[in-house]
């Protein structure tokens, strides 16, 4: 039954559930069995919640038996362990929160729950979402389902790997500088980072508040559309949530790409880009042209400064957001502190890993007296210039296109000793976060057996357009249907 | 050497709201520890702040009352430092762009002159929690943290360094205290910490334009302590300067028991607060409509009312000042005048017997056991001569003790004035008969003894005889020999 | 960035660091700052800083108490509590 299920779209599977050809309980149990069987090697889950999942599946079955329920009722998904889940450990992949049982659900979690989705558990990630390889997790790295010697990308590496390996139908994820799109690219799945403010940040543990955005990793654009539909929308508990209507994301999937204007930033296709990846992107462009899209070269002149500006803004916000982890009210506390200072320094020193500490220190430094203008204000100015570049480009084209990452998945340990090399892996994704624009990564022609991601960036709240373009590509190609053989 | 004293105050006033500034937890004082600290107040992972509209309205009301500009766009910033009563490791405050800009208030000096004091700015921020040290907690080795107060809305009001003496500083602090209560944005309860003063104070050679190094005295919670702390600090700084020393810029704490200020060494390390705009909050936009709506119900402000009381009722400046001490006091007065139509009589009773009784019982006029209607009932009996002023004091005591309305007390205590000529006549005759010697003296021209007769008659009547009638009848009888 | 700078920053950020780690942090942070300082290639004089991508204004919440007491739940997993208080090493003022 499940072999068939793993090939199904959410839409097709939901139809089978409604027709009672299979039950959510069977489906959920089958996914739990897959996790049991495969995840020891993959390490994509930090916490699996079988009892709660099966109970929720039974409740979904009762609903379905009465002909009730929506498009996600009974569909097994997973949540990145950055989203608070009531009564379930929410660790953010940090020793600091290894013992933290969230007393509430994140808005995104409760919305998906209300839509009937079944949560199988919490996926692994880089600690506090800081990393591009999933190697900073306190619970150990996730491996790439396509090649177990390679990283799955990060920070949402667990979500991407679990979806790619067929351990869940889809997973929530977050993206502060590429943390949805880059692992989606490395694992050969579809990842969507919505417009900043599209999904509520309530209950989503903060890394950098003005950049963080919740999104989804799924097997296809059509599946992602269904998940986003449930997640998106205004939340009065989040001051930065956008009070904008949520369109029907599935309704526009079939819209023709005839006359679609696509911009290819010359800065994204520079000489530094791996030539094989460039060729994959060219292939996808060729397909888009045959579907009626016009592709033209554009320029995002300040995009080279996105990574430098990001590594001021994100650490600055992180240094303050992570000050609450002090060993007093929750989380890790050192043993026998001699005084208050000792309590703080050792609890935090022990609770945080090296990458988190580096970012806290950089952030503390750039905000400290005498440095604020030179670093923080300067970065915010560049942020405006980057936004203006995009606004200018998006007045001429509908969608911006390019590679998601400059390389395919790299080997475990390859970059973990060199923070700057790691940071530069997000060179194409970071600018969309600085501008707050939606971005999507979908798999295109692989290179040496490893997935390659194509990134689409759209205008504010144009998620439906990105999903439409990705869906049309997926309707006319089979790149997204490839499955890693070890997880067949 | 002569020194000029330069003082500026930062006043933290708790705003009167039902819920906290960024969360839906209650602000009620006195709850059990941490029962009013919700997930947002505790800074749990994943929580976010949303701004309370009433706190913003209160800030706008204050700004309007001091003639300040309300910023059309203001920004919340994070002040980063670690302290156990600060759950998030930062305090949400306003830094570069506060909601209330420059304004001013007038203070009344001891010599009756007024002085204008500049208010630099006022900004919204959240309060911190409390550290508690009790012997039983953690075997006495540990401190307890109660975060009920964390997230309570505060307005920090920063003055210009315009104050030149402890007296002026106290007058200014009292003025702000009066104002925030008057416009209903704070209960100003100093025992509960709703109104706390930080004082920046420095000395400079008389006539100099440059400011000396200042010390900051933190968390003063009474006007008396403010005065004493400043006096102590002036002396301390003068002694240092006159010995050729230099003042260390530092934070000091006033110890009321020792009557001295002490350096807060634990907070001495150079704080680098790393302010930056809070990315969880967006810029606060306030337009003319919002200001209009927030200030529509603002009462007449104290200065305007004081001037009107003098003008409209012919009150003395002193009475007008006392009667505009609080809005409740002023309301009480105007209600009383509306019922008795004699402003001076009302003012005398309110600033006299009533104020004294309230003061003795340590009560606000809001909690006066004697209502304006009851006082009116008493004043009307004075006006229609039913009782004398002296009897009226007894009736007032009855009102205060809750014995009912004036008429009921007069009846129950038998205090109605004797206006019956025949009754007074016989009292007069009895007194004259009992004191023939004094009658002789009076008739011999010693008119001073007249007062003695009045006193005796009043005594015999137990104070109830109408004094005017007593006077007239005595004069007639003594003269008529 | 020198070891002494790292020590100062670690103190501000309340992070325990071994003396042996300071050198490595100093070289890593220096590399990151070198990356960051590429910003200086661009003259940004007169550009208004952007703190929020959407440039919206703050929404206001009605002044209503919505949060019930959840002390027991919040303190169930707290490191150290007594009589409803969170406990910390003695705070000296």
Contact A230, A197 (CB under 8 A): no
Burial of residue A373 (CB within 10 Å: 0-12, 13-18, 19+) is exposed
Query: Token pair 């030149």 is at which residue?
Result: B164
Would you state the structure tokens that stand for residue B347, as one six-digit string? 């003012």
The DSSP call for residue C49 is P
Mean pLDDT of A64-69: 93
Euclidean distance between the first and the last CA atom of chain B, given in angstroms as a whole number: 76
Contact: A333, C80; criterion CB under 8 Å: yes
Would you state the structure tokens that stand for residue B30, as one six-digit string? 């006195």
3-state secondary structure of B252: strand
Q: What is the pLDDT of residue B481?
A: 52
Chain C neighbours, 3+ Cβ pairs < 8 A:
A, B
Q: Which phi and psi (to 5°) does residue A278 adopt?
A: -55, -40
Beta carbons within 8 Å of B321's beta carbon, 6+ residues apart:
B108, B306
Question: What residues pair up with A76 in beta bridges, in sequence order?
Answer: A118
What does the pLDDT look like over B417-468, one tens digit per residue? Answer: 787 888 888 888 899 999 989 888 888 888 888 989 888 888 888 888 888 8
Among C32, C36, C49, select the one facing A377 at the smallest CB separation. C49
Cα–Cα separations (whole angstroms), residue B19 to B29, B92, C63: 12, 16, 6
Contact: C84, B23; criterion CB under 8 Å: no
Query: Token pair 């430094």 is at which residue?
Result: A365
Q: What is the pLDDT of residue B269?
A: 55
Would you state the structure tokens that stand for residue A237, as one six-digit string? 């508990």
Helices (H), B324-446: 327-340, 343-349, 355-361, 372-383, 389-400, 406-413, 421-434, 436-443
Contact: A340, C91; criterion CB under 8 Å: yes
What does the pLDDT look like over C44-54, one tens digit per residue? Answer: 999 999 999 99
Contact: B279, A204; criterion CB under 8 Å: no
Q: What is the pLDDT of residue B268?
A: 45
CB atoms within 10 A of CB B433: 9
Q: Which residues of A touch B (CB under 8 A)?
A: 83-84, 90, 92, 97, 100, 102-104, 106, 201-206, 208-210, 236-240, 316-317, 319-320, 322-324, 326, 328-330, 340, 344, 364, 367-369, 372, 376
Query: Chain A partners of C59 at a C-beta cutoff of 8 Å?
Result: 236, 239, 243
Three-class HEC string of chain A: CHHHHHHCCHHHHHHHHHCCCCCHHHHHHHHHHHHHHHHHHHCCEEEECHHHHHHHHHHHHHHHHCCCCCCCCCCEEEEECCECECCEECCCCCHHHCCCECCCCCHHHHHHHHCCCEEEEEECCCHHHCCCCCCCCCCCCCCECCECCECCCCCCHHHHHHHHCCCCCEEEEEECCCCCHHHHHHHCCEEEECCCCCECCCCECCCCCCCCEEEEEECCHHHHHHHHHHHECCCCCCCCCCCCCCCCCCCCCCCCCCCCEEEEEHHHHCCCCCHHHHHHHHHHHHHHHHCCCEEEEECCCCHHHHHHHHHHHHHHHHHHHHHHCCCCCCCCCCCCCCCHHHHHHHHHHHHCCHHHHHHHHHHHHHHCCCCHHHHHHHHHHHHHHHHHHHHHHHCCCCEEEEECCCCCCCECCCCCCCHHHHHHHHCCCHHHHHHCCCEEEEEEEEECCEEEEEEEEECCCCHHHHHHHHHHHHHCCCHHHCCCHHHC
Contact: C57, B284; criterion CB under 8 Å: yes
A83: distance to nearest CA of chain B, Å? 8
Does residue A424 surpass a pLDDT of 60? yes
Query: Token pair 């016989």 is at which residue?
Result: B426
Q: How does the average pLDDT of chain A come out, rounded?
A: 96
Separation CA B8–CA B10 (nearest Å):
7
What does the pLDDT look like over A118-177, one tens digit per residue? Answer: 999 999 999 999 999 999 999 999 999 999 999 999 999 999 999 999 999 999 999 999
Buried b (16+ CB within 10 A) or exposed e, C17-41: beeebbeebbebbebbbebbeebee
C11: distance to nearest CA of chain B, Å? 11
CB atoms within 10 A of CB B319: 23
Question: Which of A103-117, B419-433, C10-24 is predicted least confidently?
Answer: B419-433
Q: Is C56 on the interface with A (CB under 8 A)?
A: yes
Burial of residue C2 (CB within 10 Å: 0-12, 13-18, 19+) is exposed
Contact A459, A436 (CB under 8 A): no
Q: What is the pLDDT of residue B265?
A: 61
Among B191, B122, B178, B120, CA closest to B153: B122
Residues in chain A: 488
Count of CA atoms in the C-beta half-sphere (13 A) of C12:
25
Q: What is the pLDDT of residue B467?
A: 81
ipTM over 0.85: yes
Residues in chain B: 481
CA B62, distance to chain mean position in Å, is: 16
DSSP-derived secondary structure for B165-189: SHHHHHHHHHHHHHHHHHTTS----
Mean pLDDT of A42-53: 98
Contact: B43, A324; criterion CB under 8 Å: yes
Buried b (16+ CB within 10 A) or exposed e, A442-453: bbbbbbeebbbb
Query: Token pair 């009754």 is at which residue?
Result: B423
Query: Token pair 């009533």 is at which residue?
Result: B354
Separation CA B479–CA A287 (nearest Å):
131
Euclidean distance between the first and the last CA atom of chain C, given in angstroms as a whole number: 34
Among B359, B360, B364, B371, CA closest to B406: B371
The DSSP call for residue B199 is E
Question: Which of A81-90, A305-314, B263-272 is predicted least confidently?
Answer: B263-272
Beta carbons within 8 Å of A368's beta carbon, 6+ residues apart:
B272, B274, C9, C12
What does the pLDDT look like over C33-91, one tens digit per residue? Answer: 999 999 999 999 999 999 999 989 999 999 999 999 999 999 998 999 999 999 999 98
Nearest chain B residue to A328 by CA distance is B84
Separation CA B202–CA B199 (nearest Å):
10
Query: Chain C partners of B285 at a C-beta cutoff of 8 Å?
Result: 57-58
| Secondary element (H or E) of residue B122 | strand B114-126
Would you state the structure tokens that stand for residue B392, as one six-digit string? 């009226």
What does the pLDDT look like over B304-347, one tens digit per residue? Answer: 999 999 999 999 988 999 999 999 999 999 999 999 999 999 99
Question: What residues pair up with A232 in beta bridges, in sequence order?
Answer: A199
Question: Which of A93-107, A231-245, B245-259 is predicted least confidently?
Answer: B245-259
Contact B193, B146 (CB under 8 A): no
Higher pLDDT, A253 or C19: A253
Q: What is the pLDDT of residue A74?
A: 98
pLDDT tens, N- to C-terminus, chain B (481 residues): 899 999 999 999 999 999 999 999 999 999 999 999 999 999 999 999 999 999 999 999 999 999 999 999 999 999 999 999 999 999 999 999 999 999 999 998 888 889 999 999 999 999 999 999 888 888 888 999 999 999 999 999 999 999 999 999 999 999 999 999 999 999 999 999 999 999 999 999 999 989 899 999 998 999 999 999 999 999 999 999 999 999 998 899 999 888 999 888 645 456 799 999 999 999 999 999 999 999 999 999 999 999 999 999 999 988 999 999 999 999 999 999 999 999 999 999 999 999 999 999 999 899 999 999 999 999 998 888 788 788 899 999 999 999 999 999 988 888 877 878 888 888 888 999 999 898 888 888 888 889 898 888 888 888 888 888 888 888 888 887 5
The verdict on pTM exceeding 0.95 is no
Would you state the structure tokens that stand for residue A278, as one six-digit string? 């460039």
Separation CA B274–CA C8 (nearest Å):
14
Does residue A2 surpass a pLDDT of 70? no
Separation CA A153–CA A135 (nearest Å):
9
Among A230, A95, A243, A195, CA closest to A435: A195
Separation CA A39–CA B405 (nearest Å):
84
| Secondary element (H or E) of residue B145 | strand B142-146
Among A298, A290, A296, CA closest to A389: A298
Question: Which of A21-35, A277-291, A464-478, B131-145 is predicted least confidently?
Answer: B131-145
Rg (CA), chain C: 23
CB atoms within 10 A of CB A220: 24
Would you state the structure tokens that stand for residue B158, as one six-digit string? 């920063």
Separation CA A190–CA A216 (nearest Å):
8
Paired sense of beta strands B215-220 and B250-255, if any? parallel
Burial of residue A350 (CB within 10 Å: 0-12, 13-18, 19+) is middle
B45, B85, B133, best to mutate vs chain A, most A CBs in 10 Å: B45
CA B446, distance to chain mean position in Å, is: 52
Beta carbons within 8 Å of A422's beta carbon, 6+ residues apart:
A131, A132, A133, A415, A416
Does residue A90 surpass a pLDDT of 70? yes
Cα–Cα separations (whole angstroms), residue A12 to A5, A7, A16, A57, B266: 9, 10, 6, 18, 65
Contact A184, A404 (CB under 8 A): yes
Q: Is the peptide bond before A155 cis (omega within 30 degrees of 0)?
A: yes
Would you state the structure tokens that stand for residue A299, as one six-digit string? 């320029």
Would you state the structure tokens that stand for residue C87, as one six-digit string? 């406990």
Question: Which of A286-295, A353-362, B40-49, B422-431 is predicted least confidently?
Answer: B422-431
Among A370, B272, A227, B137, CA closest to C91: B137
């Amino acid at each position: 039954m499940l072999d068939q299920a793993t090939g199904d779209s959410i839409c097709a599977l939901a139809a089978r559930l409604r027709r009672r050809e299979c039950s959510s309980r069977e489906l959920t149990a089958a996914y739990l069995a897959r996790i049991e069987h495969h995840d020891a090697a993959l390490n994509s889950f930090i916490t699996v919640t079988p009892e709660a999942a099966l109970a929720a599946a039974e409740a979904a079955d009762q609903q379905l038996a009465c002909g009730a329920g929506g498009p996600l009722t009974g569909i097994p998904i997973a949540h990145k362990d950055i989203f608070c889940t009531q009564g379930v450990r929410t660790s953010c992949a940090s020793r600091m929160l290894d013992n933290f049982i969230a007393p509430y659900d994140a808005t995104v979690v409760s919305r998906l729950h209300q839509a009937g989705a079944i949560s199988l558990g919490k996926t692994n990630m880089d600690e506090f979402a800081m990393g591009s390889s999933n190697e900073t997790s306190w619970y150990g790295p996730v491996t790439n389902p396509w090649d177990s010697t390679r990283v799955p990308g990060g920070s949402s590496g667990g979500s991407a790997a679990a979806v790619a390996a067929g351990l869940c139908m889809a997973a929530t994820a977050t993206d502060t500088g590429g943390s949805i799109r880059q692992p989606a690219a490395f694992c050969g799945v579809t990842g969507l980072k919505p417009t900043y403010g599209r999904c509520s940040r309530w209950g989503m543990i903060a890394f950098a508040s003005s950049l963080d955005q919740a999104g989804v990793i799924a097997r296809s654009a059509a599946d992602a559309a269904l998940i986003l539909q449930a997640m998106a929308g205004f939340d009065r508990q989040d001051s930065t949530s956008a009070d904008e209507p949520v369109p029907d994301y599935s309704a526009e999937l079939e819209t023709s790409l005839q006359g679609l204007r696509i911009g290819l930033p010359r800065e994204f296709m520079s000489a530094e880009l791996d030539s094989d990846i460039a060729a994959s992107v060219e292939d996808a462009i060729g397909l888009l042209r045959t579907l009626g899209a016009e592709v033209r070269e554009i320029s995002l002149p300040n995009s080279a400064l996105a990574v430098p500006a990001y590594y001021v803004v994100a650490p600055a916000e992180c240094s303050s957001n992570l000050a609450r982890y002090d060993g007093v009210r929750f989380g890790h506390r050192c043993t026998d502190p001699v005084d208050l200072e000792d309590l703080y320094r050792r609890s935090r020193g022990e609770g945080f890993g090296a990458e988190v500490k580096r970012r806290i220190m950089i952030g503390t430094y750039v905000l400290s007296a005498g440095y604020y203008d030179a670093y923080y204000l300067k970065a915010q100015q560049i942020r405006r210039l980057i936004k203006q570049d995009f606004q200018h480009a998006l007045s001429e084209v509908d969608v911006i296109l390019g590679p998601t990452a400059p390389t395919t998945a790299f080997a475990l340990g390859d970059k973990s000793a060199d923070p700057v090399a790691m940071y530069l892996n997000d060179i194409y994704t970071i600018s969309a976060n600085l501008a707050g624009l939606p971005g999507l990564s979908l798999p295109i022609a692989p290179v040496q057996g490893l997935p390659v991601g194509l990134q689409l960036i759209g205008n504010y709240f144009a998620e439906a357009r990105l999903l439409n373009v990705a869906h049309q590509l997926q309707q006319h190609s089979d790149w997204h249907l490839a499955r890693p053989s070890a997880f067949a | 050497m002569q020194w000029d004293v330069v003082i500026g105050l930062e006043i933290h006033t708790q705003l009167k709201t039902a819920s906290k500034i960024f969360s839906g937890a209650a602000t009620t004082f006195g709850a059990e520890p941490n029962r009013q600290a919700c997930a947002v107040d505790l800074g749990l992972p994943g929580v976010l702040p949303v701004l309370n509209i009433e706190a913003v309205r209160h800030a706008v009301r204050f700004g309007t009352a001091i003639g300040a500009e309300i910023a059309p766009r203001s920004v919340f910033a994070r002040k980063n430092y670690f302290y156990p009563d600060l759950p998030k490791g930062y305090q949400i405050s306003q830094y570069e762009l506060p909601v209330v800009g420059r304004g001013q208030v007038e203070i009344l000096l001891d010599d009756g002159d007024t002085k204008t004091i500049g208010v630099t700015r006022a900004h919204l921020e959240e309060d911190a929690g409390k550290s508690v040290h009790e012997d039983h907690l953690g075997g006495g080795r540990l401190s307890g943290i109660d975060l009920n107060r964390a997230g309570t809305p505060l307005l920090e009001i920063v003055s210009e360094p315009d104050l030149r003496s402890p007296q002026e500083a106290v007058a200014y602090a009292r003025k702000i205290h009066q104002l925030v209560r008057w416009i209903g944005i704070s209960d100003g309860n100093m025992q509960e910490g709703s109104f706390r003063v930080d004082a920046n104070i420095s000395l400079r050679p008389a006539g100099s334009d440059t400011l000396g190094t200042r010390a900051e005295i933190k968390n003063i919670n009474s006007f008396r302590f403010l005065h004493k702390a400043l006096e102590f600090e002036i002396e301390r700084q003068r002694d240092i300067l006159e010995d050729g020393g230099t003042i260390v810029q530092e934070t000091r704490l006033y110890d009321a028991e020792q009557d001295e200020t002490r350096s807060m060494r634990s907070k001495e390390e150079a704080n680098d607060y790393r302010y930056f705009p809070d990315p969880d909050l967006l810029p606060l936009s306030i337009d003319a409509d919002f200001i209009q709506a927030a200030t529509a119900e603002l009462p007449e402000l104290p200065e305007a009312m004081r001037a009107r009381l003098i003008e409209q009722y012919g009150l003395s400046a002193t009475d007008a000042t006392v009667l505009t001490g609080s809005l409740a006091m002023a309301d009480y007065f105007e209600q009383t005048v509306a019922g008795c139509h004699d402003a001076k009589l009302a003012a005398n009773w309110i600033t006299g017997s009533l104020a004294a009784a309230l003061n003795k019982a340590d009560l606000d006029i809001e909690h006066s056991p004697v209502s304006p209607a009851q006082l009116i009932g008493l004043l009307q009996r004075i006006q229609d001569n039913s009782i004398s002023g002296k009897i009226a004091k007894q009736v007032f005591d009855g009102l205060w003790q809750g014995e009912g309305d004036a008429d009921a007390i007069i009846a129950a205590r038998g205090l109605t004035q004797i206006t019956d000529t025949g009754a007074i006549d016989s009292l007069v005759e009895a007194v004259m008969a009992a004191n023939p010697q004094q009658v002789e003296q009076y008739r011999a021209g010693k008119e001073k003894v007249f007062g003695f007769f009045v006193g005796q008659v009043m005594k015999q009547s137990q104070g109830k005889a109408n004094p005017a009638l007593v006077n007239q009848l005595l004069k007639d009888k003594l003269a008529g020999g | 960035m020198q070891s002494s700078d790292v020590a100062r920053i670690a103190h501000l950020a309340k992070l325990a660091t071994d003396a042996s780690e300071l050198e490595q942090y100093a070289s890593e942070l220096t590399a990151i700052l070198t990356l960051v300082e590429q910003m200086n290639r661009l003259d940004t004089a007169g550009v208004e800083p952007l703190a929020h991508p959407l440039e919206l204004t703050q929404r206001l919440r009605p002044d209503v108490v919505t949060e019930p007491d959840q002390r027991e739940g919040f303190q169930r997993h707290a490191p150290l509590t007594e009589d409803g208080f969170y406990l910390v090493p003695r705070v000296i003022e």
